[in-house]
């Protein structure tokens, strides 16, 4: 089991870096843990990269688990309707930490 730690700032300008960070783990067998405990800002583009990554691993038969998701990360996933895709549980509506929720 491996762990990948996400950056604190996952704005649109970091999407390429995020893709490069995740690429080596795409075909990695077994469970991959993604530490989202430091994420304080996340853009839709970064969430799309994460969803594509999780789905590609899932189609290859590999599990991906998000650990310690911050409220910002969780809220963004909920607003974008990807909680299930990322394997996150629904929680009460708290959007105060999301930048540009619209």
- Tell me the two tokens of residue 7: 């950056």
pLDDT digits (tens, 9 = 90+) for 41-98: 999 999 999 999 999 999 999 999 999 999 999 999 999 999 999 999 887 654 455 5
Whether this prediction's pTM lies above 0.85 is answered by: yes
Q: Tell me how far CA of residue 43 lies from CA of 31, 47, 50, 58, 97, in angstroms.
A: 25, 7, 11, 23, 13
């Amino acid at each position: 089991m491996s762990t990948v730690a996400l950056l604190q700032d996952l704005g649109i300008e970091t999407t390429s870096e995020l893709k490069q960070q995740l690429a080596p783990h795409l075909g990695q067998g077994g469970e991959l843990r993604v530490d989202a405990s430091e994420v304080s800002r996340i853009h839709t583009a970064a969430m799309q990269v994460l969803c594509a990554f999780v789905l590609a691993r899932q189609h290859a038969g590999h599990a991906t688990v998000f650990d310690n998701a911050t409220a910002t990360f969780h809220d963004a996933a909920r607003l974008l309707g990807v909680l299930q895709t990322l394997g996150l549980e629904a929680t009460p509506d708290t959007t105060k930490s999301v930048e540009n929720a619209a």
